[in-house]
Amino acid sequence: MNKNLKVIVSGGGTGGHIFPAVAIAKEIKSQFPNAEILFVGALGKMEMEKVPKEGFEIVGLPIAGFNRSNLLANIGFPVKLFKSLIKAYKVVKGFKPDIAIGVGGFASGPTLFMANLTGVKTLIQEQNSYAGVTNKWLSKKASKICVAYPEMERFFPKDKLIFTGNPIRKDILNGNLSKEKSRTSFGLEKDRKTLLIIGGSLGALSINKAISKNLQKLLNEDIQIIWQTGKTYIDTAKEAVGAVHTTRVYVSDFIYEMDKAYAASDFVISRAGALSVSELSVVAKPAILVPFPFAAEDHQTKNAESLSKNNAAILIKDSEISDKVEEIIHSFSNNEGLLQELSENIKKFAKPNAAQEIVAAVKNIIKK
């Protein structure tokens, strides 16, 4: 294989797309140090900030998603799509990649379409248990489709599927951290049961409101809390913590050291995005999953159901979390058997070698 491998990685919009994309890119660089990797994202989305911080170059397209709930909001969509297709064509022709990898998100559509049009081989990484419209459309020309859940032949040609799982950050994969030291790094007691609350990279309003409303009741369960709120809720959360006069809550808008947060925790409340589910599986944490009900094709609910039907997580509807959070935390904090069972079952979904398997697929496609 050409040692100067050239790869385009396209997609983004949320951490659930970006972090797996970066994990794939880092694995490529690990195996091919001279490889040239170019990311293609959507202007104004978080990949434009996060990807350069990881040391990779990124180009932005003026693309935006199609708003299914408010059709009038799509007046400018055709123009943005046309401009994005033109720019994607120029990027692909100028960079001359050996392969283009799509990880989902707005930018992957124009980029992989133009890669296919110009004869560049493509690979799709579908992170969810319910495939998105763009990936289903792109799959017709893709060489291979790496998936994170079984039974994805419902959406894609069976002969193209590779069951790899979702790639996750190496610091989480390599996490052999002490629970006690991890807790003290957040300013918490080393011997007290700990609840981790994560609402995804942007925060989760319903979860945040439920925690604010029930904070004192949760603390009455003799637990301590690590609470990631997202930027828009951090001030409200700090007020709620201040009102109960406690030192048993660490609150932050974003947690960069998620390996320590997972190590510190005994159980987790989380959205059910693909990345969160994959990380929780690898670290084998008992989880209460609260799917975001307005995610595209309601894919978070389907992600959560794939675990809950195997007794690998507890699924709580978004509309019910405020009323049920105290009851369920009570059952978690007082039932070691339940925690052990959930931990053992969710670990069965773990795919710790996902990045290596995806890169192996990349190599096979290029060889052919």
Q: Give the CA distances from residue 276 to residues 20, 84, 273, in Å, rounded to whole numbers and listed in that order.
A: 11, 30, 5
Please name the residues in contact with 158: beta carbons below 8 A apart, sequence gap of 6 or more: none
Does the annotation flag 275 for ligand binding?
yes
Q: H or E element: which one contains 213?
A: helix 205-219
Does the annotation flag 169 for ligand binding?
yes
177 and 313 in a single domain? The answer is: yes
130 and 247 in a single domain? The answer is: no
Please name the residues in contact with 285: beta carbons below 8 A apart, sequence gap of 6 or more: 196, 262, 265, 266, 267, 268, 343, 346
150 and 202 in a single domain? The answer is: no
Does the annotation flag 201 for ligand binding?
yes
Give me the pLDDT at residue 13, please.
74
Residue with tokens 């296919």: 116
Is 235 within the bounds of a domain? yes
Does the annotation flag 276 for ligand binding?
yes
41 and 100 in a single domain? The answer is: yes
Is 45 within the bounds of a domain? yes
User: CA 324 from chain center: how many Å?
Assistant: 25
Does the annotation flag 274 for ligand binding?
yes
Of 181, 153, 148, 157, give the one whose Cα is nearest residue 281.
148
Contact in structure between 264 and 194 (CB atoms under 8 Å): yes
Is 18 within the bounds of a domain? yes
User: Over its length of 368 residues, how does the chain's per-residue pLDDT go in tens digits?
Assistant: 545 899 999 988 776 788 889 999 999 999 999 999 999 999 998 899 999 999 999 999 998 766 556 656 667 778 988 999 999 999 999 999 999 999 988 889 999 999 999 999 999 999 888 888 889 999 999 999 999 988 899 999 999 999 999 998 888 887 789 999 999 999 999 999 999 999 766 789 999 999 999 999 999 999 999 999 998 999 999 999 999 999 999 999 999 899 999 999 999 999 998 889 999 999 999 999 999 998 877 889 999 999 999 999 999 999 999 999 999 999 999 899 999 999 999 999 999 999 999 999 999 999 97
Quote the pTM value: 0.82
Does the annotation flag 94 for ligand binding?
no
Is 33 within the bounds of a domain? yes
Structure letter (DSSP) for residue 151 = -
Structure letter (DSSP) for residue 319 = G
54 and 113 in a single domain? The answer is: yes
Does the annotation flag 204 for ligand binding?
no
227 and 296 in a single domain? The answer is: yes
Q: H or E element: which one contains 314?
A: strand 314-315
Nearest-angstrom CA–CA distance, 268 and 329: 10
Does the annotation flag 295 for ligand binding?
no
289 and 339 in a single domain? The answer is: yes
179 and 137 in a single domain? The answer is: no
Does the annotation flag 192 for ligand binding?
no
Nearest-angstrom CA–CA distance, 197 and 90: 43
User: What count of other Cβ atoms lies within 10 Å of the Cβ of residue 78?
Assistant: 9
Assign residue 272 the CATH number of its domain.
3.40.50.2000
112 and 217 in a single domain? The answer is: no
Is 296 within the bounds of a domain? yes
Is 357 within the bounds of a domain? yes
Of 146, 130, 175, 360, give the one whose Cα is nearest residue 284.
175
Please give the angle made by the CA atoms of 307, 27 and 257, to the nearest 5 degrees: 60
Of 150, 121, 152, 149, give the one whose Cα is nearest residue 136.
152
196 and 343 in a single domain? The answer is: yes
Is 343 within the bounds of a domain? yes
Domain with 342 in it: 171-347
109 and 175 in a single domain? The answer is: no
Instruction: State residue 110 phi and psi, 5-degree precision.
Output: -60, -40
User: Whats the size of the chain, residue-wise?
Assistant: 368
Question: What is the phi-psi region of residue 71: left when phi exceeds 0, alpha when psi lies from -120 to 50, beta otherwise?
Answer: alpha
Does the annotation flag 14 for ligand binding?
yes
Does the annotation flag 232 for ligand binding?
no
283 and 151 in a single domain? The answer is: no
Does the annotation flag 278 for ligand binding?
yes
Is 1 within the bounds of a domain? no
Domain count, the chain: 2
